[in-house]
Amino acid sequence: MSFEELPHTADIKIRARAATLGELFSDVLAALMQVMYGIDRSGGISREITIEAPDSESLLTDILSEVLFVSEVDGLVFQKAEIRIDGSRLFARFDGEPFDPARHSGGTEVKGISYSGMSVKKDENGYMVEIVFDV
Amino acid sequence: MLDGVLQKGTYEWEVPIGFVPGMRVPGRFFLSEHLESILESGAIHQLAHVATMPGIVKNSLAMPDIHLGYGFPIGGVAAFSLDEGVISPGGVGFDINCGVRLFTTPVPERSVAGRRELIEDLFKTIPTGVGGKSQSKLSPQALDAMMTKGARWAVEQGAGVERDLDRCEENGYMKQANISAVSSHAKQRGYSQGGTLGSGNHFLEIQIVREIFDSKAANAFGISKGQVCCMIHCGSRGLGHQSCTDHLKIMEGAMRKYKISLADRQLACAPLDSPEGRDYFGAMAASANYAWANRQLITHAARRLFARTFRIEYEEMPLVYDVAHNVAKMEEHTVDGKKQTVCVHRKGATRAFGPGSPDIPPGLGEIGQPVIIPGSMGTSSYILCGTQGAMDRTFGSTCHGAGRIMSRTSAKRQLSGKDVTARLLQKGIIVRAHSENAIADEAPEVYKPSDEVVQVVHSAGISRLVARLSPLGVIKG
């Protein structure tokens, strides 16, 4: 897992790097969960989500937005995600647990996923993205 | 100052056409010399990019609390003509109708100051923070009514008094709400969050009026020195966040459909006179109404607690005013000597209508609209009033708050929640939050000094100082 938080005045900016696009997206999802619920997260309950979008940036924004929705409405905190991307189609399997106020209340609610200068880049080392969470 | 930006007055600056390609009108912003030292160049570029949008009228504006936002800068104001103009979710933000309200109490300072159990009771009564849910879930019918009637719905449920509605911007609801434009996802997020505060910079704060600058206006607003007040800052919760997310996606398609090409993808927009534009406006208004009802429900819970604790009557806690910080509205303004209805986007900016405006509460017509500017956790908040200067120059708008200057990463590195709490306690301010991180994140030093921001809008004449309030206790997400 590889992501880091970069300085951003108003919101939260994350940089992630990974060998594959699926791993990159998994890392960004882990970052989102960490920002919202902290590091003490475990598994046990699984969820599957499939989405379609025309490009990598839209796929990433859409899956993150969908996770914000599922997590809030179903009261679930995800520990990790396994993501497969096939062209314009993304399949995700999440592993998580019910929201526990005693362990998961310390984070910051993310209001939305920003397109702010976001682009998924590929070079000889793999994939990299910088993304802003609106908080 | 940045190259190419021109000084037009002591506190007023112009970003001329040509600063970035495609600008249709100049940009204008308000800033003091000291605030200039913490200005982000990216925020001025955002201001300039807004000036490239179709149908923008007169100026792309920013208030002195300007900083980098999503598409529009925070502190940004822009008006669009109804025939050629556009509407943009980025000009409103994810937290639709994030706003602030203030009610006064007859409780003396000595009964409240240093009283930790009051803050603990408020923290237990009002759900806060990530995952904070209301005790009872709204029915689909109740949610629809909440989105349609806003604060009026809450008052009809017994959570307030009729006078509260007179003291809300728009009387607590926008009549253009279209609940069929609100997605099922957004509605599902709305069922369990009525009356919840949220996290981040949202708070409920007990304050005391320390200083009166304009006694005539303070009198009219019902404010006096030494008065204990309660300030509530929150928005439309997950329902509003989801509405923004859903319609941003629709706008991306609309940009292609209407052949609108802009430098920044975050400025996604659609013509006001298009199905996509109308749908967003209807969903945004419904979300704004949810936010007004939400603040009314929180007010009700706080008033009941105060009434029980201090044996006072509910009616002894009148609402001073409720303002929206993130919203787009159809308003009539005078542009180049002619009256024109425009769609004014305020993104981290406050409506500040001057004397004589028909939209001012009864009895305040000669004074101007009350404006509430929250400080950060340890710093002063302010009451101002709208002016003719704002009507003439900023589409009746002023600043909305202090504005961040330190990133959350730096705040966490440099500040400990424990130290911040102890330091505030020494100043007589009790802070209660779910985590120390949340306190470090929102420490007073991460914000611009609110005193300086309000001084700029006062000196520039786009609103007038009425009163200053200091915090005594605060609950945060």
Q: Which of B456, B411, B471 is nearest to B200 (CA)?
A: B411
> Does residue B418 form part of some domain?
no
Find the range with the poorest average confidence among B75-79, B203-207, B432-436.
B432-436
Q: Name the residue range of residue B283's domain.
A: 6-405+447-476
> Does residue B413 form part of some domain?
no
Nearest-by-Cβ selection for A106 from B69, B245, B437: B437
Percent of chain A with pLDDT over 90: 85
Task: Flag whether pLDDT at B423 surpasses 90.
Answer: yes
> What is the per-residue pLDDT for B365?
93
CB contact under 8 A, A112 and B241: yes
Helix (H) or strand (E) holding A12: strand A12-18
How many residue pairs from chains A and B have C-beta atoms closer than 8 A?
A: 96
> Does residue B51 form part of some domain?
yes
**Best residue in A41, A109, A118, A133 for a mutation probing chain B (most B CBs within 10 Å):** A109
Number of domain units in chain B? 1
Cβ(B70)–Cβ(B93) below 8 Å: yes
Cβ-Cβ contacts under 8 Å, A109 against chain B: 129-130, 198-200, 477
Task: Flag whether pLDDT at B228 surpasses 80.
Answer: yes
B400 in active site: yes
B93: left (phi over 0), alpha (psi -120 to 50) or beta: left
CB contact under 8 A, A9 and B404: yes
Q: What is the dihedral of CA B17, B22, B25, B27, to 10 degrees?
A: -60
Average pLDDT over residues B37-63: 95
Percent of chain B with pLDDT over 70: 100
Find the range with the poorest average confidence among B39-43, B122-126, B138-142, B187-191.
B39-43
Nearest-by-Cβ selection for B94 from A36, A104, A134: A134
> What is the per-residue pLDDT for A1?
58
B428: left (phi over 0), alpha (psi -120 to 50) or beta: left
Average pLDDT over residues B90-111: 97
Residue type, B434: H
Fold (topology level) of A3-134: Archease, Possible Chaperone; Chain: A; domain 1 (3.55.10)
Task: Flag whether pLDDT at A116 surpasses 80.
Answer: no
B54 by DSSP, 3-state: which?
coil
**Best residue in B245, B266, B269 for a mutation probing chain A (most A CBs within 10 Å):** B245
Rounded CA-CA distance B393/B388 in Å is 9
Q: Which of B161, B184, B186 is nearest to B172 (CA)?
A: B161
pLDDT averaged over chain B? 95
What's the CATH number where B392 sits? 3.90.1860.10
| B423 close contact with A: CB closer than 8 A | no
Task: Flag whether pLDDT at B17 surpasses 90.
Answer: yes
Query: What is the number of alpha carbons within 13 Å of residue B305 lying toward its C-beta?
Result: 19
Confidence of residue B69 (pLDDT cuts 50, 70, 90): confident
Confidence of residue B2 (pLDDT cuts 50, 70, 90): confident
Confidence of residue B128 (pLDDT cuts 50, 70, 90): very high
Percent of chain B with pLDDT over 90: 84
Average pLDDT over residues A28-51: 95
- The alpha carbon dihedral of B117, B122, B128, B131 has a sign of positive
| A20 close contact with B: CB closer than 8 A | no
Better-scored residue on pLDDT, B69 or B346? B346
Cβ-Cβ contacts under 8 Å, A135 against chain B: 199-200, 408
Better-scored residue on pLDDT, A9 or B179? B179
Count other C-beta atoms under 10 Å from residue A83's C-beta.
Answer: 23
| A75 close contact with B: CB closer than 8 A | yes
**ipTM for the predicted complex:** 0.94
- Residue count of chain B, please give it: 477
Among B90-94, B265-269, B435-439, the range of highest mean pLDDT:
B90-94
CB contact under 8 A, B70 and A105: no
Q: What is the dihedral of CA B132, B134, B137, B141, to 10 degrees?
A: -110
Task: Flag whether pLDDT at B204 surpasses 90.
Answer: yes
CB contact under 8 A, B266 and A69: no
Q: What are phi and psi of B158, to 5 degrees?
A: 95, 5
B124 beta partners = none
Nearest-by-Cβ selection for B407 from A7, A58, A113: A7
Distances (CA, A) of B351 to A93, B67, B137, B397: 45, 18, 32, 4
Give contacts of A 89-128 with B, CB under 8 A.
99, 101, 104-109, 111-116
Residue B357, min C-alpha distance to chain A (Å): 34
Cβ(B405)–Cβ(B397) below 8 Å: no
What one-character DSSP code corresponds to residue B198?
-
> What is the per-residue pLDDT for A119?
83
Q: Which of B374, B362, B369, B364 is nearest to B385 (CA)?
A: B369
Rounded CA-CA distance B223/B104 in Å is 8
Average pLDDT over residues B396-416: 88
Rounded CA-CA distance B123/B125 in Å is 6
CB contact under 8 A, B70 and A9: no
> What is the per-residue pLDDT for B344?
98
**Best residue in B35, B40, B70, B244 for a mutation probing chain A (most A CBs within 10 Å):** B70
CB contact under 8 A, B93 and A107: no
CB contact under 8 A, A108 and B242: no
CB contact under 8 A, B185 and A12: no
CB contact under 8 A, A9 and B67: yes
